[in-house]
């Protein structure tokens, strides 16, 4: 069994792009808030499209909502962030993944 620090290190390397994106979002949000510019980000899971039937079936077995996202589910989040309804949100990463990251 690997040492926990090694597991943490390799987990960090695996998810480095996500960590970097979150830090960039938060940094920009703080810098631009004083100019009344909101910065947020969206991390979304698999979206229905050209994936093979086998891939979609495997994805559905692994995802809590048992399906891939519909494009309108992601578009709805974009629309929300573009309106004044989200005017109090800055530096937030909105995760739309059908529960994929719950695990």
| Tens digits of pLDDT across the chain (103 residues) | 343 344 444 455 566 566 677 778 899 999 999 999 999 999 888 999 888 999 999 999 999 999 999 999 999 999 999 999 999 999 999 999 999 888 7
Query: What total number of domains does the chain contain?
Result: 1
Q: CATH number for the domain including 49?
A: 3.40.50.720
Please name the residue that has the structure tokens 């808030």: 33
Range of the domain at 28: 4-102
Question: Residue 9: CB partners within 8 Å, gap ≥ 6?
Answer: none
The whole-model pTM stands at: 0.74
């Amino acid at each position: 069994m690997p040492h926990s620090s090694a597991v943490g290190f390799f987990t960090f390397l695996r998810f480095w792009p996500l960590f970097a994106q979150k830090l960039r979002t938060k940094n920009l949000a703080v810098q631009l808030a004083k100019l009344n510019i909101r910065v947020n980000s969206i991390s979304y899971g698999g979206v229905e499209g050209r994936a093979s039937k086998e891939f979609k079936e495997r994805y559905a077995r692994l995802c809590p909502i048992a399906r891939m996202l519909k494009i309108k589910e992601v578009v709805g989040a974009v629309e929300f962030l573009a309106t004044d309804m989200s005017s109090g949100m800055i530096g937030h990463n909105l995760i739309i993944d059908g529960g994929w990251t719950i695990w």
